[in-house]
Structure 1
Amino acid sequence: MTGSKSKSFVLWAFVTTALLMLSAPTVVVLGASFTAGNIITFPPDGLSLKWYGAIAQASDLRQAFVRSLIVATICTLVSIPVGTLAGIALAKYRVRFARSIQIYLLLPFTIPLIGSGIGMMLVLGNMGVLGKLWPVGIACAVINLPFMIWAVTASASNLSPDLELAAANCGAPPLQRFLYITLPAVLPGVITGSLLMFILALNEFLVSLLLVDARSVTLPVQIYNSIRSIITPDLAAISVVFIACAGLAIALLDRLVGLDIFLKSK
């Protein structure tokens, strides 16, 4: 009994330590965003909402945030059809070069992001489209597409082939089987992957830094340009806005799909 209690105590000690380490940066940023002073301090020097009012009135931050939303939307719209069809194909069919595709799905973890960003910068530079927003969205889709494919593949692997066989025996054509059987079955994975792609593109910094110019900076790049001179509490307030967007996406994911399905897809 004593041994069981000791193991439980050690386990909870590790869990508590991990939670504190993960939540500490968020708590510090949250507290610093409400400071009444002019510099970032924690605990905050008084409480005030003036820095949230400051970012609401800052036209450059608003425009950068809108650009980030545009990039994230483009990334998501590109990823949905490509990632959905690729995930279904990998889960249901024997695809040629399947091993090569599996290696590609590991690229986000094996190739440094700076390498991918420089490669895309060279390609897009030769095309003469650097500085525009839509190439940034496509680049975010390219580097993060494996996450979309994984989410759809996890849902498609649970689809029973007997359902499609039954529909085929009833005379349903392939397109009808896809729209009424396959697509609804993988919809949780599509929603999960779409929200994940949106969040990743919204927060993408390194690739955006290499592909945008001074006229089309996204919000992460705008924040980076600001902290190179001085770190002020309005940057903490912007960070809280990003955290709120991520929290809203998670709440939406739990509402539409359920976090348990999301975790299984990982």
Structure 2
Amino acid sequence: MSGNRGKTIVLWIFVIFGLVMLSAPTLVVLGASFTSGNIITFPPDGFSLKWYAKIAGASDLRGAFLRSLVVASICTVIAVPAGTLAGIALSKYAVRMEKTIQVYLLLPFTIPLIGSGIGLMLVLGNAGMLGQLWPVGLACCVINLPFMIWAVTASASGLDPDLELAAANLGAPPLQTFLHVTLPAVTPGIITGALLMFILALNEFLVSLLLVDARIVTLPVQIYNSIRSIITPDLAAISVVFIACAAAAIFLLDRLVGLDIFLKSK
């Protein structure tokens, strides 16, 4: 009994240590954003909301944040139909070049992001499409699309094929079967993938840095440009806004499909 108790204590020590290490940066940034001083300190030097008021009144930060929202929206709009159809096809049919597609799905983990970013910059630059926001959203979609496909595939793999056969036997045409049987069954995966794509594109820095110019700077690039000179508490406040957006997405995901379905799709 004492041996099992010792294993439990050691396990909890590792769990607590991991939680502290994961949450410590967030807590430091959160505390620093409320400091009343003029430099980032933790514990904060007093309590003040002036840095949030500063970023709310900064037109350049508002513009950069709105551009990031546009990029994330474009990425999601492109990824939802493309990832949904690809995920359903991979889970239900024998697709040609399936091994090649499986390799593509591993690209986010095998190819350095800087390599993908430079390649996209060259392709989009030769096509004369740089200097606009929509190519940035397209590039974010190309790089992160495997996450959308994985989410949809996880939902589609649980679809009972007898349901589609029953609909066909009752005289439903293929399109009607897809819209009323297949699509509702994979909706949790679509929602999960869409939220993932939106958050990933919203936070994308390296690809945005390579594809934007001074006229269309996104918020991560704007933050990077700011910290090259001096790190002030308003940057911590911006970071808290990003954390709040991610937390809102997780809450929405939990309310719509449940975190258990999200974790199964990973």
Residue type at the aligned position of 1:167: A
Instruction: Give 1:1-266 correspondences, 5 Å limit.
Output: 1-266=1-266
Structure 2 unaligned blocks of 5 or more? none
Residue type at the aligned position of 2:187: L
Aligned mates of 1:32, 1:68 — CA distance in 2? 24
Aligned mates of 2:204, 2:109 — CA distance in 1? 16
What is the CA distance between 1:128 and its match in structure 2? 1.1
> SS at 1:38's partner residue?
coil
Residue type at the aligned position of 2:238: I
Aligned mates of 1:80, 1:260 — CA distance in 2? 21
Aligned mates of 1:175, 1:141 — CA distance in 2? 26
Aligned mates of 1:10, 1:132 — CA distance in 2? 53
Aligned mates of 1:125, 1:180 — CA distance in 2? 42
Residue type at the aligned position of 1:136: V
Residue type at the aligned position of 1:140: C
What is the CA distance between 1:129 and its match in structure 2? 1.4
CA deviation string 1:98-148 (max 9, x = no partner): 000000000000000000000000011011111210000000000000000
**Same amino acid, percent of matched pairs:** 80
Aligned mates of 2:265, 2:213 — CA distance in 1? 36
Aligned mates of 2:171, 2:74 — CA distance in 1? 37
Aligned length: 266
> SS at 1:151's partner residue?
helix
Residue type at the aligned position of 1:218: T
Q: RMSD in angstroms over aligned alpha carbons? A: 0.3
Residue type at the aligned position of 1:106: L
CA deviation string 1:206-262 (max 9, x = no partner): 000000000000000000000000000000000000000000000000000000000
What is the CA distance between 1:13 and its match in structure 2? 0.5
Residue type at the aligned position of 1:249: A
Residue type at the aligned position of 1:137: G
Residue type at the aligned position of 2:5: K
Residue type at the aligned position of 1:176: Q
So what's the TM-score if we normalise by structure 2?
1.00
> SS at 1:46's partner residue?
coil
